[in-house]
Structure 1
Amino acid sequence: MGGEIVVRPAADEDWAGLWPLWHAVVAAGETYPYDPETTSEAGRAMWFAPPPAYTWVAVAPNGGIVGTYQLKPNQLKLGDHVANAGFMVDPELRGQGVGRRLGEHCLNAARELGYRAMQFNAVVTTNTASLQLWRSLGFIIVGTVPRGFRHAVHGEVDMHIMHRFL
């Protein structure tokens, strides 16, 4: 991808540009457990949740939104020192460094917000690019949920729980 991608906090007016990407990822039924028929309004409510959740967008030089992530506590109260995050990249731009840029930004943002670790609860095992990225950023698999995800193409597949200290 030519030019510098800027990662910045999402603004309310970003949803119109983010929705096509968000919908494409969710509707594919390959990486997110959300209902593939989630409406724009319901998606916005989930992805633009109020603090302590925070959402960022990756913006291409042409102003288009090419990726996003949401960062929030993995648990409440006594577990809120561990972050959780979800990531989405424009399906047409996968493999071009957008996910890595978002992942690195997220790790830094989590540190700045005072988190001590990060945990991903549902990394689908068929999402090999994601698994490779998270391993390269220091995550390890700490558990596996057998047949925990109903993949649109492959049926029931495993999900990994991944973790790293910050």
Structure 2
Amino acid sequence: MAVHIFAFGSHGTSAWAERSGPGVFDNVGGIPYTDLTGLRRGWGTTYRGKAGQAVYFHNPVTALESIESEDSTPLLTQFGARFELMETARVTSVQVWNGEKQIQTYDGLNIGPSASAPVIFDRQFAPGLGLPRRGIDVVVGVSFGASSSDVTFFGAWAHYQVDVLW
């Protein structure tokens, strides 16, 4: 049996906030309208959250299209996001969605400003879930503490494993 791993990712410029505007964000570096859109640069997207706000950020990842046959069984095996937290920003939850269906939740997280390395969440799905077919959305919940704080998203990814029986 041969095992093949397929990796799909999205760049940090595809990250977007579920809520935005001057009540939720400050302008990044004083640049107008970044309280609505975030600041997109070559390496990712930065948002400056206002003190006391909590926001979900969406990071879409392409799904592996079905290659199922009698000789293979594809599975989502790993997913993750890479971000940098500054000042008082903290990641409090990560959710993974397959289209409109939530397939995994990690609540009660407390990832703080020192987390500038990739954060990887290993597969913990119910047996038989198999292959997500509608694209993956890695949703990162960020809480902004006692002062305005930055979060920058560099990307998200999903790994799929295909065990070929021949």
Question: How does the TM-score come out when normalised to structure 1?
Answer: 0.25
Question: How does the TM-score come out when normalised to structure 2?
Answer: 0.25
Higher helix share: 1
Higher strand share: 2
